[in-house]
Structure 1
Amino acid sequence: MPESTIKAGSLTFDALVDGPPDGELVILLHGFPESSRQWTAHVAELAAAGCRAVAFDQRGYSPGARPAEVAAYRMPHLVQDVLDVADALGADRFHLAGHDWGGSVAWCTAFAHPARVATLTSFSTPHPRAFADAVREGAQPVPGYHRTFAPEGAEAMLRDNLAWIRDSLGSAIPAGHAQEYLARLSRPEALRAALSWFAAKDPADVAIGPVSAPSLYVWSDGDPVVRRRTAELTAKWVTGPYQFVALEGVGHWISEEAPESTALLMAEHVRRYG
């Protein structure tokens, strides 16, 4: 998979890039504790379909994009990174996909900048307001572990060879991918930066409205956090064309547990509305 760097704004991001330079741009955003490598199959599939596919290691994960201040990881900065990468690649409009935290960034970008986002694909992550709706209904518990993720907790998480992260990844994803994620986050400065996403989280940043971009939301019944009711409520917060796909027997790491089928789903979504 071709590796590259992208100078975007004041930061430099490591990235996987494939496909013709004049193809429609598709930007893919990874989650925690993953990296752009989680999108290997999707980048290849999109490139084969004639798209310019770009998965970049987001703020804190790329050594050249690692601010020290926790406030630098609030959602508006993460959204701006997406726009800066698109600008650096010369794209006024682009397709956008995300998983986990990357899914949150994708939803917020699509809402805040509808003129720029041609299509949206989210794996695992529901629209933020759907999550809030489900919590109010009592259908969705708030994950308690988020409160334990703070930059000052990085040293504790590093104990036992990153046992917490290793256990959370389990055996469902490719071993080579897991080794790369663990190697990256074994550096204290990298882990502190990744955990800053959690510490910087502000409910006001995700109090967004309906998304108008054609949207594909892929949820899995084995996800330990997002309940089915939460996933189903996402439809309420999309005003454009919407497709909901529920995968059976798949856990949280959708893009890596079911790479072929989800890559085809995304490529078809992009083709349909490109």
Structure 2
Amino acid sequence: MNGTVGPVGYGASVIEHLSIPTPAGDFDAIAAGPQDGRPVLLLHGFPEAAVEWEHQVARLGGEGFRAVAPDQRGYSPGVRPDDVAAYAMDELVGDVVAMADALEWRRFDLVGHDWGGAVAWWTADRHPERLRSLTAVSTPHPRALGAALRSDEDQALRSQYMRDWQSPRTEERMLADGGEPLRRMYEWKVPRARVDDYLARLSEPGALTAALNWYRAPTPRDRIGEITVPTLYVWSTEDVALGSTAALDTENWVSGPYEFQMLEDVTHWVPEEVPEQLTALLLDHLRRH
């Protein structure tokens, strides 16, 4: 694993830039905290990158944890395969385990938002022995979401975008007018400089296609089961993509210790819209488990 590159001060801690080598390629990542600190891996969503967790990584590092947030498959230039099937859930979960192995983490806490939340749920199902705890932000348990898609017209309408984005012209539409359609997705809740950074990253050749391949990849053949590891699920009431039906049903798919936190008047972009509030919930969860 490469050393730090251009550490960036953030509050009382320091953000490092890492390269994590795996059989699939090298993942770019940000990190903070002592090397022997309790390990926490944070997975970003679409259309974002590891820096969506910058506040949480810095705070966790300052509290003595070893926090690492990678740019996931397709977002890291070193792991950007062309094949759509390479973005299937088995591959994404495999990346989590491979990164933990490269970091020499036998057990770790896993945090995910949006697509990163989906990967985190599946990792907790497939590899519970590796996880000390799970924190899912925005994304409900996949079985709860599946049930809502079948029974709740509101959730079916909210999720229509997932089918629409499988169109081969989606990249062209999102990047039209200097990326204005993509910019509007953040609902003016993510800092402008951060949105500029995301647009620059996703405008790189092949980057947006790779990110959208997460939506185009084959769905898992196996069914996810109940989650046994201690779980915190954070859902926000103004999330345009994920409604209350699946959020409230998620508790029925966790058999281990479970905590549900509902954030009033907060949109989908929780880690960046209310970073202090989310970090406080996360720290409390980690300290109790």
Structure 1 segment 92-107 matched on structure 2, within 5 A = 92-107=106-121
Q: Which of 89, 95, 103 in structure 2 is aligned with 1:89? A: 103
TM-score, with length taken from structure 1: 0.96
TM-score, with length taken from structure 2: 0.91
Structure 1 segment 12-91 matched on structure 2, within 5 A = 12-91=26-105
Which whole-Å CA distance do the structure 2 matches of 1:44 and 1:151 have between them?
Answer: 38
Higher relative contact order (CA 8 A, sep 6+): 1
The residue that corresponds to 1:148 in the other structure is 164
Q: Structure 1 185/173 Cα, relative in aligned 2: closer, same or farther at 3 Å?
A: same
For residues 36-79 of structure 1, the C-alpha deviation after alignment (integer angstroms, 9 at most, x for no partner) is 01001110121122111000000000000101100000000000
Q: Secondary structure at the match of 2:128?
A: coil
Which residue identity is paired with 2:134? L
> Does structure 1 residue 134 correspond to structure 2 residue 148?
yes
Pairwise CA RMSD of aligned residues?
1.3
The residue that corresponds to 1:247 in the other structure is 263
Q: Structure 1 201/257 Cα, relative in aligned 2: closer, same or farther at 3 Å?
A: farther
For residues 76-105 of structure 1, the C-alpha deviation after alignment (integer angstroms, 9 at most, x for no partner) is 000000000000000111100000000000
Q: Which of 188, 191, 204 in structure 2 is aligned with 1:174? A: 191
Aligned length: 272
Runs of 4+ with >4 A deviation: none
Which whole-Å CA distance do the structure 1 matches of 2:266 and 2:281 have between them?
Answer: 15
Which whole-Å CA distance do the structure 1 matches of 2:178 and 2:257 have between them?
Answer: 45
The answer as to whether partners of 1:151 and 1:192 remain within 8 angstroms in 2 is: no
Q: Which of 232, 238, 253 in structure 2 is aligned with 1:216? A: 232
> Does structure 1 residue 270 correspond to structure 2 residue 271?
no
The residue that corresponds to 2:274 in the other structure is 258
The answer as to whether partners of 1:45 and 1:264 remain within 8 angstroms in 2 is: no
Q: Which of 175, 190, 199 in structure 2 is aligned with 1:158? A: 175
> Does structure 1 residue 3 correspond to structure 2 residue 20?
no
The answer as to whether partners of 2:29 and 2:50 remain within 8 angstroms in 1 is: yes
For residues 238-268 of structure 1, the C-alpha deviation after alignment (integer angstroms, 9 at most, x for no partner) is 0110000000010000111100010111122
Unaligned ranges ≥5, structure 1: none
